Every structure is written in structure tokens, then in C-alpha cells.
Chain A
């Protein structure tokens, strides 16, 4: 069973997508079917987490079968501890977004829910694929549902948004394809656990650019404003919450472990880009005219912060980066969904037309406030823990990076408090009708679990950060290529 678990995590949403696309049911029941499938997926993840040996740094729950042998490509899926957390955040966020889509009652339900489940499968695939070509297949497969989800259910300027999104993404991923072909054929295997480390700058850049576009990292973020603004809110939540993590995961799983020397040589460049993303993104968020703008530029900033952690090449940095990926996925998904809920009530997200929404709407005020406070890394919150680890890690490189990071955190407080107060407090905005309701039960059912996850992590952030790389040093594991030979004996299970 344990060997099948990762495969099951992939097959459940893909099978669900197929089921939804052919089941002869009315729209409402299609939505409930999709919601059920996404919850079943969460259940399987909990099972997987229960069977996981967190002390063991090697690949677990893995399954391997040859796909085509002459080029040594195989179906190889499995999870490291950090992949398990990323899969977990994916299934939780995807479940919330699918249920939100159901609650909102999206039109053309059959295609919509089939695409949502397909997307779930593709993202889980990215985080679990242990074969380079399989990884690429899932990475590309994410694009198809996103393209249509934005293009069909998006806002008025969706045509331009999809075009920029596709152009950026396709350019990046095809550069990666060229790198994959050259890398895998040269080494006669595409298996990530067997691929030896290389020191080719070209291959490294082929991967890093693709991941930097996905993350996004300055200056590859040109697709971000249109895509995030024109998407339906739950799709924006997925884009910024989990899809962007695919790029960051790629850095952690492929770019750094497989090209450690090049990564060291290029770390200053990456750290500079990350710092620019952090500060520039925060400033843009501070100047953004609408609520979604704040959230979307803050996710550019957060990507920068996480990259700072990854390229710190330090245990604290890696642990913090993984924790912060999970945090940010939950925070930004919750915030984008809240943005959607606010837009439903006021038909605008513009901050100057909003205001005073806290009065008479306690639920909305509480949820927005809690999420916002956690997102600005107030002490005792989980993102404080994540950001602190990242800063402590990058401090080892040079104190200046830590100063940049700290500046980012200060700016985060500024833009987030500005947004919260513009929505909830001040005078009642002209776009806020008196009849605008508080959050309904269905909406609470979507966001409250996300917020509860965040509160839980705030109580025990070590759950993720202390269990992301198994026993031993994260740095050592990452820099030796995250490839453990069969029979690796570094892990000694505790005697019971």
C-alpha cells in the first residue's frame, strides 16, 4: 500500500477529472462530486503523512516502473519530507478552491470542475515526480487547465492575460526542455535520484529561468499583474498559492542539488534578484490601488524572500524556505479567496471605494484580520517563524542580505495594515452597500480551515520546519544531490 500512496494521490484527482467530465449529473452535483474528490485527496494525504518516517531523509512512498526504456525514462514518483509538506499544502488549498468554485456556482460546471481536478493532479505530480521527463510533463500539464480557467472564467481583459501568461511560461518551460534533453541523454538516465551532479552553467540557467518565471522572480514577473487580476479569485489563489511554489520547489529539488557548484557561483545574482523582488514587490504592494494588487505583489515579495532562504545554503535557510512556502500558500490562498468574497459584495476591489466593512460584519472582519496579521509576520505567528529562519540563514552569508530581508518584513507590515484598514476600517466606502452580508456559512467553510491550519502552524511551526529534511543536515542533503543510493544507511530507525 505504501508504495502505491503517491500514485494514488495522483490518480484520485485525475480519475475524478475523468469522472466529472462524463458523469451525467446536473451542475450542482458535479460540483459536489469534485468537492468530494478533493476532500478524499486530502484524506489520502493525511494517510500518507501518517505512514511517513520523518527521521528518514531518503525518498519514501515511492513507486517506479519503466515508461520507455531506450531513453531510460520511467514513471518514478515518491516524496521527500519537504515534498510531503508541499503536497499537503497543495491538496488543502485545492480543496478549498474547488469548494469555493462549487459554492459560487461557476457556469459551465463540467469543464470547470474537470479542469480543477486535472490541475490538482498536475501540481501534485510536479511535487512528487522523481523522473526529470515526468516532472516536465506535469510542469507543462499545469499550464493547460490554468490557461482555460483564466481564459473562460476570467475578467474582461482575460485574453491579454492568458496570452502573456502563456508566452512567459512556454518560453521558460521550453528552455527547461532543452536543458532536460541535454542533461538526461548525456547521463543516460532521467531519474532524479540517479542523475549525477553537473557543473554546466547553461543547463543550470535553463532550469533556473523556467523556475524563476514560475515563481515569479524579478525580472521575470511580467505575466503576474494581468494573470492575477483577471483570474477568478480561486484561480488566483491557486496561482499564487501553489503554482508559484512549483518554481520554488524546482530550485530546491533540481537546480540547487544537481548543480551545486554553479548554484554557489551564481548565488549572488540570485540573492540580488530575490532582494529586488522582495523590496520592489513590497513597494508595489504598498502602492497597489486594489486589494488583489496588494496580495499579488506581496506574493512576488514572498517569492523573493523564499529564494533568499534557498540560496542561503544553510540549514536554517532551507528549513525556513520550506516552512514559508507552506505558510505563504495558505495565506495567499486565503487572502485571494477573501478578495473574491469582498468583490462579490462590492463588485470592486479598489481600496478607495472600500472601507468600513468591519462594522456589522464580525466574521469577515475576524477572518481578514487574522489572515492579514499572520501574513505580516507578527511574532508568534507561523510566518514569523518562517521568516525568522530565513533571515537567520541568510545572515550566515552576509549580514546585508538579512537587512534586506528585515526591510521586506517591515514593508509587509506597512502594506498589509494599509490594505486591512482600507477594507475594514475608516469610513464606509462608496462601493459598500449597507446590505452587503457578512461571510456566509459556505464561505466560512472554505476559509476557516485555511486559517485554522495557519493558527495550528503558528502554535507548532516546527512540525514543518523541523521535519522537512529528515534527520541530519538539510544543506548536506541538498548539496549532495538529494539522491540516496539504494541501501543508504544514514537513517537508523528508533527502536520501539
Chain B
């Protein structure tokens, strides 16, 4: 008789909930009448993410000690559970933003099915404990995102963006797979902790494998020099998809990077610390300099996300408990700010019917006071100003770097922040310091109806962005509990 492994269903519940929602949505696409399809699909998608959120919270509460499941292929610990909470939260907000998107009822259920499936892939990915589940999770959510990027075939550039993302993303996945093969070939182990214990630290083949795994993950976190798909994909994708990619993909990729590097490659720590520090510097430099010359707001935010990958990689490079805490904390306001900023862009886009540039943001802050103030807050948060969690996040990242002795990374981060002030405040300037009369656009005929759901999404993001500044202690306690799951 074949012995079946014990399956811890609770630990798998967040991905399973989303997967269930995705399956249900495919049914909705077929069975629900056309005119009901949109609200039903959006509701099911939202419910799926909320269920995943609740399950992830339960898992986090009930997993004080890290354990592995199903022949060491998955982790059940607070590190992954907290990331799942953030992923599910981001997904739920992304659903709120998607409802008002102008596509008809043509493929609307399929859209939400893909969104929840990608979310399921990410929640699976962050639990990965060996190289197989790692690659499986990566491909799972990536394929969902490739299609989502290209889903709006009417949108100019959407298909192109999807193709670019697919090609570059495939290179990234292949690199990761190749690297995994090399590591497995040398160590003979798949599970991260056993690779770490196998003692092949300074072997050339092993190190090449490590480098390729870092590169593969850096493609997903859009860190320079593996970022080249980011501006095009962010610009071309429908804005709610961009919002989801910017927050959720970054969460998943960075959280997993921290785990893989610290548990599978502790012997090469000196090597990957310096590599990650180098990648962080490259991302900070490239992201900020690239953003300076952009006029399209989505592209600015894309470059800004590259630079933030740099900030968060500083925490990874520090490779200490403080750094792990810093990363988990940083992701909370970062996810909220990204989603919120893209939500505001989406609102403006729907209003004007053209891509949002700095030029046609003129007067937006006065016309839509709430969205204006929200966007302002998100920009200040990205910049790391007080009254937003971005400030505390940067402070923690710098503290982690200082703790490890990487003081020069603080200098790089500070210089990068100085540069970024130009374009973040440039967006504020575009919204407030110019009148709508400066807008050189034909009026598109009346203002669109107020979007309650989008405003609700922005409100949530605003509350998280500002709230994380005041409620640092509870959030840090959660992040500290998560960080204890890592062997640092």
C-alpha cells in the first residue's frame, strides 16, 4: 500500500481559496447571464481574496513555530503567512479598482479568474520550500500575469506589453530553472534547508546556480539590471493589472528571495550579500534616473517601483533579523501606496480616456479633492516623508543596513531619495500648481460617475499608508514574528 503524505489543509487554504474562486469564476463565465456577469464575477473574485486573507490570518495566528509540509515541499510559518495576508489584501483592492474598468462584459469573468489564479500562484509561491515548488509557483502566477497584461486587446500597447513581458519573463523563469538545476545537480537536494546543510558553499557550479537563481528572482522583483520589461509592461497593461503587479509581484518575489537566500545559501552569505547590495544600488540609480525624464505617470511609477525594489533589497542585503523585519514592514505601506497611486491614475484615465501624463494631470487636485490628497499622500509616502509608513520603512531599511555595517548603502539610499524628490513632487506640482485651464484636451463630455468602489479602495490604501506611520509597534511586532521564521 502506498503511504500518502499527511496534508495540512489549513496551511494550503489561502491558495486553495483563490483557486476555488478561479474555478468558480470560469463557471460564472459560462452559466451566468451576460448582464449579471460583471457584478457576480467581481463579487466572487473579491470574496476569494477576502477568504484567502482570512485564512492567511488564521494560519499566521496558529503557526508560532515554523514547520514544513508534504515532504518538505512547503513551509507553514509566519513569514509566508504574513506575505499571504499582504498578497490577498492587494488582490482584494485590485478587484475594487477593476470594477470600473471600461471593458464590457466580454471577458470579464475570465479576467477575474486570471486575477485570482495569479493570486493563488503567488500565495503558493511564498510558501515554497524546495526548488520544485519554487519554480511551479513562479510559473503559475507569471502565466496568469502575462495574459492579464495583454487582456485588453483594444488598448493600444497592451498586446505589445504582454508579449514583451512574456518574452523577458520567460527568460527570467528559464534562468531560475537552469540555476535550480545546477544547484540540485551539485548538492543533490531540493529542499532549501537541506541545500544549505549540504556544504557545497564555494563550489563553482553551485555558485553559478546561486547567481542564476538571484537573477531569476530579480526579474520578478524588477530590480536593475533585470528591470527592462517593467516600464513597458506597466504602461501597456490595464491600470488595475498594473496596480496588482506593482504591489503583489514585488511582495512575492522579495519575500521569497529573502527566504531562499537565507535558508539555502547561508554559506555563501558574503557573496550574495554583496551581489544583492550591488543590485540594490543599480536599481536605486537606474530607477530614479529613469523616472526623472518620464512624462507618462504610469512609467514614472514603474521606474519608482524599480527604485523601491532597490530600497527593499537593501534590507535583503543586510541579511539580519532587523532586515527581515524591515522588509516585511516596508511591504505594508509600499503595497498600499502602489495600489493607491495606480488607482488614482486609473480614475484619471477613465475620466479623460487617454493615457495620463504629467501634462494632463493639471488641475486634478482641485477637481477631485479626495483623490488629489490621496495621490499627494502616496507620493510623499514613496518619497519617505513623515506621516506615512514610507518614512518608517526607509528608516528601518537604513537601520538594517547600518546594523550590518553597510553604512555606504545608507548614503546611496539617501542620495537616491534626494533625486526622487524631483519626480514625486513633480506629480504633486502637476496636480495642484496648474489650473485645469492649462489642460490641452478636448473635453470628453461631462465628468464620469463617481466610482464608489475605487474610492473605497483608495481609502483603504490611504488608511494603511498613514496608519502604518502611527501604528508602528503592532506592525513591527507582527513583522518580527514573521522574521523569526527565517534562519538568520
Contact = CB atoms under 8 A, between A and B. Distances in A.
B399 A167 contact: no
Interface string B422-435: 10010011001100
B414 A175 contact: yes
20 contacts: A67-B472, A68-B472, A68-B476, A136-B386, A140-B385, A141-B386, A144-B380, A147-B425, A147-B428, A151-B432, A159-B429, A170-B421, A171-B418, A174-B418, A178-B410, A178-B414, A181-B402, A181-B410, A182-B410, A185-B402
Interface residues of B, number: 33
A152 interface: yes
B207 to A, nearest CB: 32
Interface string A171-183: 1001101100110
B472 A162 contact: no
A147 B417 CA distance: 17
A166 B407 CA distance: 25
Interface in B319-347: 322, 325
A73 to B, nearest CB: 8
B385 A141 contact: yes
A137 B391 CA distance: 8
Contacts of A436: none
B476 A70 contact: yes
Interface in B361-390: 366, 369, 380, 385-387
Interface in A26-75: 66-71, 73
A398 interface: no
Contact of A182 (B366, B402, B421, B433): B402
Interface string A154-174: 000011001000110011001
Given A66-B473, A152-B432, A170-B417, 8 more contacts: A67-B473, A68-B392, A108-B366, A110-B369, A151-B429, A152-B433, A158-B433, A185-B403
Nearest to A122: B386
B456 interface: no
B303 to A, nearest CB: 19
B386 A138 contact: yes
Contact of A170 (B396, B418, B428, B473): B418
Nearest to B472: A68
Interface in B416-470: 417-418, 421-422, 425, 428-429, 432-433
Nearest to A171: B418
**Highest count of chain B CB atoms <10 Å: which of A69, A138, A158, A174:** A174
Contact of B387 (A69, A141, A162, A178): A141
Contact of B429 (A108, A138, A162): A162
Contacts of B417: 170, 174
B407 A182 contact: yes
A66 B418 CA distance: 29
B348 interface: no
Interface string B94-132: 000000000000000000000000000000000000000
**Which 4 A-B pairs rank lowest in CB-CB distance, beginning with the nearest?**
A137-B386, A68-B472, A151-B433, A174-B414
Interface in B278-325: 322, 325
B476 to A, nearest CB: 5
Contacts of A69: 473
Interface string A99-125: 000000000101100000000000000
Nearest to A185: B402
Nearest to B398: A181
Contacts, number: 78
Most interface-central of A73, A141, A144, A171 (chain B CB within 10 A): A144
B27 interface: no
B395 interface: yes
A143 B380 CA distance: 11
A69 B403 CA distance: 16
A480 B270 CA distance: 42
A133 B421 contact: no
Nearest to B322: A70
Contacts of B472: 67-68, 73
A133 B395 contact: yes
Nearest to B474: A68
A141 B402 CA distance: 24
A67 B476 CA distance: 11
A144 B402 contact: no
B480 interface: yes
B422 to A, nearest CB: 8
A148 interface: yes
Contacts of A70: 322, 325, 476, 480
A182 B399 CA distance: 8
Contacts of A67: 472-473
B481 to A, nearest CB: 12
A69 B475 CA distance: 12
A148 B429 CA distance: 8
Nearest to A75: B470
Contact of B421 (A111, A151, A166, A177): A166
A181 B429 contact: no
